[in-house]
Amino acid sequence: MGISSELKEKIVFLAQKYETKDFLEKDPSKFMHRYKSVRDQETVAFIAANMAFGQRVQILSHIEQILAQTNCPSQWVQKEGYRDFFTQGNKSFYRMYTHNDFIIFFDTLKSMLDNSDTIGNYICNHYNGGFLHETICSLFPENCALIPHSKTTAAKKVNMLLRWMVRDNSPVDIGLWSSWYKKENLLVPLDTHVMQEATKMEILPPSSSGKPKSATIKTTIELTNTMKEIFPSDPVKSDFALFGLGVDI
């Protein structure tokens, strides 16, 4: 669908308004900025992104609990420090995610760190085209609850991770993987706030039944393609406009 010049101007204005260092204060993306090594930044980004759902205060609090265990997250993972922290089996740690769920998640991160100089290079070596989130999800076992495996999922958390890792020249995103994956190929992380604002602005028209569309990969692609009318080489920049407005940072 076409998008009006007035709406384009509004989204450009909002993206510029929210893509600032101030955005980091209440966002899980802030944690990766604490660290200097690429391996630590990648490790923390995976932790933070894949816990980023629910109330923001609770998200930040639970990420902090994990990061408080170490000053070097990548080494902590490689030395299996997470097995000393996640000891309660099927007891919940964060919402529906159990201690066992986190052990499975960290076991895969450990394997990536053990077998490559960086997590990004490990993923790059396994990437064979298509959407990058699909490759990342396939690297985790089917029983890893933190990572989506459905072919229809919007994979919001993984696509948010990719925004952080691929977009460069940003006060928020750190662009560690920009040399091998283009930001023009990123997908908008489709969360509740983004869906609400895109629907209000009629960027996402209702489904054929007249009801709001659901957060699927099909809807994600549709929204991303529309945002390319505004930011052709960087459609995910629009995430700052839609998400920022939705949470009214």
Residue type, 18: Y
* Cα–Cα distance for residue pair 214/209, rounded to 1 Å: 12
Q: Please tell me the distance from the alpha carbon of residue 56 to that of residue 67, in angstroms, as a whole number.
A: 17
Supply φ then ψ for residue 92, to 5 degrees: -65, 140
Average pLDDT for residues 183-191, to the nearest whole number?
96
Q: How confident is the model at residue 210 (pLDDT cuts 50, 70, 90)?
A: low
Q: Give residue 244's pLDDT.
A: 83
Task: Give CA angle at 58 (53, 37), nearest 5°.
Answer: 75
In this prediction the pTM is 0.95
Q: How many CB atoms lie within 10 A of CB 192?
A: 13
Q: How confident is the prediction for the chain on average, in pLDDT?
A: 94
- State the amino acid at position 13 in one-letter form: F
Find where tokens 């509004």 sit: 10
d(CA 128, CA 70): 34
